[in-house]
Amino acid sequence: MPSAKVIALDVSDEALEIARINAITNKTNIQCTLFDFLDERRWPELMLFDVIVSNPPYIPLKEKNTLNKNVVDHEPHTALFVPDNNPLLFYEKIAKFGRDHLNYNGKIFVETHEDYTKDVAALFATTYQQVLVKKDMFGKERIVIATY
């Protein structure tokens, strides 16, 4: 889709630099923007979208010690962990954001923690017209697709 406008948002400038390098390597046109998605005051800066794709942080902090060391030692913790008392934090924000920033029939695709997939689907089902749960390549229900 050479005419698609793709915007990558991340709170980590390091992650965005990797995305920029990947975009150049793969000859794709991606606008990489440093952005704290949890700060709703910045949302008006963003346009309407046809598709939103997110793999947000979704691992409760209490699970940190159960993860493989290669994950914990090499991934920024801001990309992995959410507060134990609010594991759906990013999904709540994404659902809310989509209500004002998705075009009609726009879709949101999110990866989830397998223990919270049904909760994430239920969250989107409160305001989105269609919500589907899909399995990942390992056969675990970890993908939620919501249509506005």
Total-model pTM: 0.92
Per the CB < 8 A criterion, the answer to whether 63 and 116 are in contact is no
Q: How far apart, in whole angstroms, are the C-alpha atoms of residue 88 and residue 68?
A: 22
By the 10 Å C-beta count (0-12 exposed, 13-18 middle, 19+ buried), 11 is classed as middle
Q: Could you confirm whether domain 48-148 is CATH 3.40.50.720?
A: no
Task: Please report the pLDDT score of residue 134 as a whole number.
Answer: 98
Per the CB < 8 A criterion, the answer to whether 69 and 123 are in contact is no
Around Cβ 101, how many Cβ atoms within 10 Å? 18
pLDDT in tens, 83-108: 889 999 999 999 999 999 999 999 99
Q: Indicate if the pLDDT at residue 72 is higher than 80.
A: no
Task: Please report the pLDDT score of residue 64 as a whole number.
Answer: 87
Q: Indicate if the pLDDT at residue 80 is higher than 90.
A: no
Between β-strands 59-60 and 81-82, what pairing exists: parallel, antiparallel or unpaired? parallel
Per the CB < 8 A criterion, the answer to whether 76 and 126 are in contact is no
**99 Cβ contact partners less than 8 Å away, ≥ 6 residues apart:** 127, 148
By the 10 Å C-beta count (0-12 exposed, 13-18 middle, 19+ buried), 129 is classed as exposed
H helices then E strands: how many in the chain?
4, 8
Task: Please report the pLDDT score of residue 142 as a whole number.
Answer: 97
Where exactly are the structural domains of the chain?
Answer: 1-36, 48-148
